[in-house]
Structure 1
């Protein structure tokens, strides 16, 4: 299936003859389709963007189309297909029950983590967030940060293949600093939550 999709994307590129930033006219709709159905990995679009626009522009545009797709899928599932999706999820409740608990306990941090590492498909993350108690504003922030982390990490890994002569030291060090900051913020929030619970019990 993946080979068929890749061939189809190659055919679209050859047919449309899109180059430079005009490529977004193709990759944004493809990202939305991927966000709903997961027919092909999002990494295919990242490779495409980097190959066409270079490392920096490719990563930035990949981040933007990932955010657009995630927001579109989230709002469609939340307001247009909510009843259908609730029925679908109820049939697979055991499969995703563990992750639903993480959504409840850790909120935006669970989305940031799942967006960063390919543990769960992006479309499933959007689907589950749409039926969780996470607020829309919190989902937007966590998607923005989580997609940034994923694209950043993937850029470091893929650049050694696509652009072997690129110096990745700055990109790697800055990503490590970014992750360290996220870990510190997570630890601070968890500490504050424990303090609030202890204060509540002591009243």
Structure 2
């Protein structure tokens, strides 16, 4: 169903000539459907946004729709269908058990990594987050940053196809700087956590 549905979406939106807010009125509901069911890759909508709105507007529209979809799916699953999801899908998630453990251990950073790289489908990331002990605020912020990273990276890749004559050095350079900042923050937080853990072990609290 993937490639056929993918082409149908692209052709349908291209034929309608939708732009701006009208385009988002169509692609945001599609992003939410994709977030629940994964009928087609989210990259289809990024491609459509960039084609219709250009690099800057397309990336911004994709970031908005992708983040909104991630939040909607998380809330629906967590507060309405969490128990049903555990019963229905629990056994199917066994192959992702190591990632569920990463959710529990790293939370914010695990979701950013999984949102950035296509290690697992977006809908599974939302589902697994919903049944993990991760805080809602942490999930939302990690999805905001993770979606930004993924869409930024895809924008770099797709721009060479859509706009072959465009100079993307600024886009690439800014993304590299973004990743360096993220890695530095991650290293600093892990270092601080390790120091606190070491200090706690060295100074046990007496009962």
When residues 168 and 140 of structure 1 are mapped into structure 2, their CA distance, relative to the original with a 3 A threshold, is same
Where does 1:1-203 land on structure 2 (aligned, <5 Å)?
1-10=1-10, 12-13=12-13, 16-203=16-203
SS at match of 1:132: coil
1 CA distance for matches of 2:12 and 2:134?
37
2 CA distance for matches of 1:192 and 1:118?
29
2 CA distance for matches of 1:60 and 1:73?
20
When residues 15 and 54 of structure 1 are mapped into structure 2, their CA distance, relative to the original with a 3 A threshold, is closer
SS at match of 1:92: helix
1:92 positional shift: 2.5
8 Å contact from structure 2 (residues 3, 40) kept in 1: no
8 Å contact from structure 1 (residues 111, 125) kept in 2: yes
8 Å contact from structure 2 (residues 10, 48) kept in 1: no
Q: Which moved more, 1:3-12 or 1:180-189?
A: 3-12
8 Å contact from structure 1 (residues 21, 53) kept in 2: no
Q: Which moved more, 1:87-96 or 1:106-115?
A: 87-96
1:93 positional shift: 4.4
8 Å contact from structure 2 (residues 31, 45) kept in 1: yes
When residues 94 and 167 of structure 1 are mapped into structure 2, their CA distance, relative to the original with a 3 A threshold, is same
Number of equivalences: 203
2 CA distance for matches of 1:155 and 1:67?
16
Residue-by-residue CA offset, 1:110-164 (whole Å, 9 max, x unaligned) = 0000000011111000000001111000001000000000010000011000111
Structure 2 unaligned blocks of 5 or more: none
1 CA distance for matches of 2:93 and 2:11?
39
